[in-house]
């Protein structure tokens, strides 16, 4: 069975990778789907996020990293997939994620959302927190892979 783990991954964190590793153990194939459209201002371009995700996920078996645009349910149908993976960190995530899952069901009744909880050490991680840490020159090694640290530092310096 195949699953899709969609998101902006701006940037990808160890929390995302923890969810991805869990999903990879549960499904035959997991597509890490990097969203083109987001309702927020992206820190990195789609191409940069895609490359960061490919590098971060290269050691996890049965993972395919690709970008998509449009509705995730349409992307799932195009890839013959009926399962979406979403991570839940806290109660505050639940309301948003439930709303998203219910909207996706309304758009496509044959697609289900599976919620996975990250390991305790990643429960508080968010991409926006990582971006703020980078801008304030905080230590990042416990939160994101080395290649993402490098990209964040370059972005903060204006690169």
Q: Is 40 annotated in the active site? A: yes
Q: Of 54, 64, 77, 89, which one is the catalytic site residue? A: 89
Question: Does 89 participate in catalysis according to the annotation?
Answer: yes
Q: Which residue in this structure is represented by tokens 């758009």? A: 107
Distance from C-alpha of 134 to C-alpha of 87, rounded to nearest angstrom: 23
Is 127 assigned a catalytic role?
A: yes
Q: What is the DSSP string of 35-82?
A: ES--SS--SS-HHHHHHHHHHHHTTSTTEEEEEE-S-HHHHHHHTT--
| Cα angle, residue 44 at apex, residues 48 and 71 outer, rounded to 5° | 85
Instruction: Considering the candidates 40, 58, 106, 157, report the single residue annotated as catalytic.
Output: 40
Cα pseudo-dihedral 11, 95, 60, 79, rounded to 10: -100
Q: Which of 22, 49, 86, 127 is catalytic?
A: 127
| 126 given a catalytic annotation | no
Kindly list the catalytic residues: 16, 40, 89, 127
């Amino acid at each position: 069975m195949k699953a899709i783990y969609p998101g902006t991954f701006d940037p990808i964190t160890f929390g995302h990778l923890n969810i991805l590793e869990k999903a990879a153990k549960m499904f035959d194939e997991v597509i890490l789907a990097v969203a083109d459209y987001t309702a927020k201002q992206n820190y990195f371009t789609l191409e940069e996020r895609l490359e960061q995700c490919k590098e971060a996920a290269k050691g996890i078996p049965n993972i395919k990293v690709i970008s998509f645009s449009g509705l995730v349910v349409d992307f799932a149908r195009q890839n013959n997939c009926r399962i979406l993976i979403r991570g839940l960190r806290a109660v505050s995530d639940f309301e948003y994620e439930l709303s998203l899952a219910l909207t996706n069901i309304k758009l496509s009744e044959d697609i289900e959302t599976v919620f996975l909880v990250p390991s305790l050490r990643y429960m508080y991680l968010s991409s926006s927190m990582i971006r703020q840490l980078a801008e304030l020159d905080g230590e990042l090694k416990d939160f994101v892979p080395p290649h993402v640290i490098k990209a964040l530092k370059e972005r903060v310096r204006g690169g």
